[in-house]
Homo-oligomer: A and B are copies of this chain.
Amino acid sequence: MPDIKDVAKLANVSIATVSRAFNNKPDVSEKTKKKIFDIAKQIGYEPSIPARTLTKRKTNILGLIVPDISNPYYGEVVRGIEDTCHIYSYNVILCNADNRREKEFQYIDILKNRWVDGIIFHSDYFLKEHFEAFKSKNIPVVLAGRATELDTAYVAIDNFKAAYDAVNYLISLGHERIGIIHGPLDGMKETVDSVARLMGYRKALEEAGLNVYDELHMEADFKAKGAFLAAKKMLEGRIKPTAIFAISDMMAMGAINAIYDSGLRCPEDISVMGFDNIDLCEVTRPALTTIAQPMYEIGAIAARMLIKMIENRETGSIQPKKIILDHKLMIRDSCSRIKN
């Protein structure tokens, strides 16, 4: 591959001039600029980004840590991130960490050694350890899909409020025994989605003066199969729910399956409410009533925010921004009014 010297030699200029031309500096005459570009094109020269990285100490790469790209929710978020990066001339290094701390920290380390300009971090948890890791390595970070009390920028929704709204909708349909299928609670740390959503669920029930049954709380793993099992167990229990709130769409679909397998129907016998609003919601039968998270926007806004942080870094460190995006109740066919 040709390098800057080759171009300089053929164009009869110094490498500094070639560099200037390719960096669009004003102080190169149009004539030499043209000559340089012509020759570059001819021999197929384009500047090496790794070499540039070393002098500029900037990679124009964002690191992306997510639990699992094969999950449609993250696919959508990542799509928003990548599209935005492309607009701003950044590239994305993708890392799947499966919510495992060890893998997360390993990736943080690798990304840091790769000199990425910043990291978008998406995980079921954001702990003090994570915060310290980013801080000590002095690397800009934006949390996607998750809020935090810590001094870190994020783009998320209000999970408490979203769950509260979801359950209130079920209550408004006349439901009184409403089950919930949530994810791992990790010792009820408040930073965890599952916990915030569980709280919102309880608050709604309590405000309505309804019983909160422990038997109607089930934990699963955010996947359809796990929720299928959880829902089965719930349906076989002592207290029979008339509605189930699953805190992810995939889990809701698992729950619907369990209902059918138990010889019941959704929504005629049991209503099911999801969370996320992935593409599939409108495609399945019954179409899933759910809480919509703006996944693409979460990704896109997080990326833009991070890029702004990176590019304003010298301009004095600003307060990390904390953005809460609106969620939205999507009423479809999986929840119906209770029959008297």
Contact = CB atoms under 8 A, between A and B. Distances in A.
Contacts of A50: 50, 53-54, 59, 114-115
Interface string A93-126: 1111000000000000110111100000000000
Contact of A92 (B72, B93, B257): B93
Nearest to A51: B54
Nearest to A110: B91
Interface stretch (A73-81, A198-206, A214-222, A318-326): A73-81
Contacts of A109: 46
A250 interface: yes
A165 interface: no
Copies in the complex: 2
Interface residues of A, number: 54
A71 interface: yes
Interface in A180-231: 224
Contacts of A250: 279, 283
A172 interface: no
Interface string A264-295: 00000000000000011011110000000000
Nearest to A46: B113
A158 interface: no
Contacts of A253: 280, 283-284
A115 B283 contact: no
A48 B83 contact: no
A70 B82 CA distance: 11
A163 interface: no
Given A50-B50, A59-B50, A96 B72 contact: no
Contacts of A18: none
A96 to B, nearest CB: 5
A287 B91 CA distance: 38
Given A70-B76, A284-B284, A47 B113 contact: yes
A46 B108 CA distance: 13
Contacts of A44: 136
Nearest to A227: B283
B92 A49 contact: no
Interface string A245-270: 00000100110110010000000000
14 contacts: A48-B113, A49-B115, A50-B114, A50-B115, A51-B54, A70-B76, A82-B96, A86-B95, A93-B93, A224-B282, A253-B284, A256-B285, A257-B285, A280-B280
Interface of A: 1, 44, 46-51, 53-54, 59, 61, 64, 68-72, 74-76, 78-79, 82-83, 86, 91-96, 109-110, 112-115, 136, 138, 224, 250, 253-254, 256-257, 260, 279-280, 282-285, 296
Given A47-B113, A69-B78, A70-B78, 14 more contacts: A50-B54, A50-B59, A50-B115, A69-B69, A70-B79, A78-B94, A82-B94, A82-B96, A91-B93, A91-B110, A93-B93, A224-B282, A280-B280, A285-B285
Pairs A-B, 9 closest by C-beta atoms? A70-B79, A70-B75, A253-B283, A224-B283, A94-B94, A50-B53, A75-B75, A49-B114, A70-B76
